[in-house]
Amino acid sequence: MTQLQNPQRGQPLDIDYIYQMVQQINTLSTKVLSQSTVLSTINNGVNETQEFTTNNLRFYAFTKNVKSGTVNAGEEVSWTIDFTPNFLLTPVVTATARNRKNDAIGNFAYAVITNVNTAQVQGRVIFNKAGTVDVNVNIIAIGTT
């Protein structure tokens, strides 16, 4: 998109200059409109697959510490992350356990999502080995507003 030259102070605005301004505004409007109507598909496994304009999608990322300390093999720690504000429909969510200490024990932890709704995601982190850990759960939720 070309830029218009600034008029000189006191210069009368002629029809050609006004035409160029309107043309640039219309070009900008067309470009913005074309980007906001791009469709994205969401299949959350709860509702039917739906298409939404990309400007109506919301991405939510969050990290929560779930355990710092000693764990037993097979121990499970529950966690809940609230979405504020809520999604319009149940979002698609992924969760991963993150070993903050980079030790061998934390490498044997994994996250499981147990429930997702428009207001929150719930899950648990399961530890396969005993020892001292510092583990977060990272979530990414994609849905509509």
pTM for this prediction = 0.69
The answer to whether residue 68 is domain-embedded is yes
Q: Is 64 left (phi over 0), alpha (psi -120 to 50) or beta?
A: beta
The answer to whether residue 8 is domain-embedded is no
The answer to whether residue 32 is domain-embedded is no
CATH number at residue 88: 2.60.40.2080
13 DSSP 8-state letter = -
Residue 145 in contact with residue 89, Cβ under 8 Å?
A: no
Backbone dihedral angles phi then psi of residue 84, each to the nearest 5 degrees: -130, 115
User: Domain span at residue 65?
Assistant: 42-144
Instruction: Report pLDDT digits (tens) over 6-63.
Output: 777 777 767 777 788 788 888 877 776 666 566 777 776 776 777 777 778 889 999 9
What is the C-alpha separation between 115 and 59, in angstroms, rounded?
A: 18
Residue 90 in contact with residue 143, Cβ under 8 Å?
A: yes
The answer to whether residue 117 is domain-embedded is yes
Query: Tokens in use for 27?
Result: 């070009």
The answer to whether residue 124 is domain-embedded is yes
**Number of domains the chain contains:** 1
What is the C-alpha separation between 33 and 140, in angstroms, rounded?
A: 28
The answer to whether residue 21 is domain-embedded is no
